[in-house]
Amino acid sequence: MTVPPPTPAANALRDDARTLFNALPWPKAEDEAWRRMDLSFLEPERFVPGATADLTPGAFMEGEATSERAGEALWLGTKIHARLSPEAEAQGVVFGSLAEALSRCPEKVLPFLGKIVPPETGKFAAWNTAQWESGLFFYVPKGVSVALPFLGGHGAGAVQGRAIFPRTLVVLEEGAQATYIEDYTALPAAGENLSSAVVEIALAANARLHYIHLQRWPAGWRHFLKQNARLDRDAALHTLVVATGGDFGRADFGSDLNAPGASARLYGLVFGDGEQRFTHHTHQNHRAPSTTSDLLFKAALRDNARSVYTGLVKIAPEAQKSNAYQASKNILLSKGARANAIPMLEILADDVKCGHGAAVGSLDDDQRFFLMSRGLSREEAERAIVEGFFEDVLQRIPVPGMPDRLRAILDAKLESRG
């Protein structure tokens, strides 16, 4: 089956983005948003666009049987491996290549593509919008509810000196419900690579989405992500972000709560070791009355790893009766670890409840002593405490099997040394 060529509108989006990309400068350390990330080594333009090798489908979320999923769409590097269950297909779900969807059903894609994370957002967003090849489109029609999760993947084989541009668009129509897990990973290779990704999520009235985002790039990868979700009346978004991979990365996540009753929950788990550097920026934009948001970002850092968390909760004057909470909790496990937490509030409505908290500390000595006195070695005790630290977030994931899968990923990293 041949794929029709992209429509003029799709081409225009790319061209405009290219113009913007050329006009914008690379972020500098002086820019407030990039102040704590040393970008002087990046030299982004030395990376050649496009993956040249693939990984196997099994590399994503390995060990999970396909009967437990409603579909997969996995970019292996140069090609996509896609499968959709007959039931989901019959219900009108679209899940697969974004380029293909742009050609076959542009009316489903174009109202949203480049609108939720516009290329004007910044250099990296413009770069992705101009360059993306490996795109995923996930669409659930009105009133359709799919219980089994969908798995999307963005990856590459063992490549060197490449830049890839993963792009995802998720559209849920009124009353639709789904669970979508995305995994970003590649095969280990010597040398450096770059990923500049964009994820856009549009939830119509009463739509509900569980979105789990796993970032598991191997060593040598630099990772940049811009994600935004637009929520309509009474829409609900639960997001979990797990970041464990790459040498360094900056990921921006958030939601625009544009209509009354919209609600967003954002959970983050970051685990850094070695010389990893993570920067996460979140936004909770309350633009309508009676909207709620809740954010809990937890980071554990070992060796010389560093985490920077910045986040902005903005409540507009018309967003009365909204509730927002934002928390950043960080534990430092080694002498060289560092954490910065900068949670911010800008509140312009009065009839609201808004709060935030941040904490940075070391492993609780009392807890460790207690566990060691019960026969655990020092390492086992520390591991148990870190597992406990992440547990309250893991327990909030209502997707069967996911908490265990994530525990396994975190444990593997906890056990590996160096």
Residues at the site binding other proteins, with contacts judged by CB under 8 A: 29-30, 32, 35-36, 38, 40-41, 317, 320, 330, 332-362
How many Å from the N-terminal Cα to the C-terminal Cα in the chain? Answer: 48
Chain centroid offset of residue 250 CA: 10
- To the nearest whole angstrom, how small is the minimum distance from the Cβ of residue 328 to other proteins? 8
Q: Which is nearer to other proteins, 46 or 79 (CB)?
A: 46
Q: How far is the CB of 326 from other proteins (least distance, A)?
A: 9
Nearer to other proteins, 1 or 190 (CB): 190
**Is the Cβ–Cβ distance between 128 and 167 less than 8 Å?**
yes
**Bridging pattern class, strands 167-172 and 150-156:** unpaired
Nearest residue (CB) to other proteins, 314 versus 405 = 314
Give the residue carrying structure tokens 């992500």. 225
Q: Which is nearer to other proteins, 49 or 218 (CB)?
A: 218
* Residue 188 or 317 having the CB closest to other proteins: 317
Nearer to other proteins, 83 or 356 (CB): 356
Shortest distance (Å) from residue 187 CB to other proteins = 23
What is the smallest separation between the CB atom of 37 and other proteins, expressed in angstroms? 10
Q: Which is nearer to other proteins, 69 or 280 (CB)?
A: 280
Query: What is residue 54's DSSP assignment?
Result: -
Residue 273: phi and psi, rounded to 5, are -145, 180
- Give 400-408's long-range contacts (Cβ < 8 A, gap of 24+): 400/68, 401/64, 401/68, 402/149, 402/181, 402/212, 405/61, 405/64, 406/214, 406/242, 406/269
Q: Which is nearer to other proteins, 78 or 304 (CB)?
A: 304
Tokens representing 98 are 């974004």
Angle at alpha carbon of residue 262, lines to 256 and 264, rounded to 5°: 65
CB of 259 to other proteins, least distance (A): 19
126 phi/psi in degrees, rounded to 5: -65, -40
User: What's the alpha-carbon Rg for the chain, to the nearest Å?
Assistant: 21
Nearest alpha-carbon partner for 255 in 116, 108, 398: 116
Cβ distance to other proteins smaller for residue 34 or 112? 34
Give me the least distance between CB of 170 and other proteins, in Å please.
32
CB 101 within 8 A of CB 137: yes
Residues sharing a CB contact under 8 Å with residue 157, sequence separation 6 or more, in sequence order: 51, 52, 53, 54, 55, 76, 77, 186, 187, 189
- In the complex, what is the shortest distance from the CB of residue 336 to other proteins, in angstroms, rounded to a whole number? 8
Q: How near is the Cβ of 307 to other proteins at its closest, in Å?
A: 10
Least gap, CB of 366 to other proteins (angstroms): 12
Burial of 288 (0-12, 13-18, 19+ CB in 10 A): buried
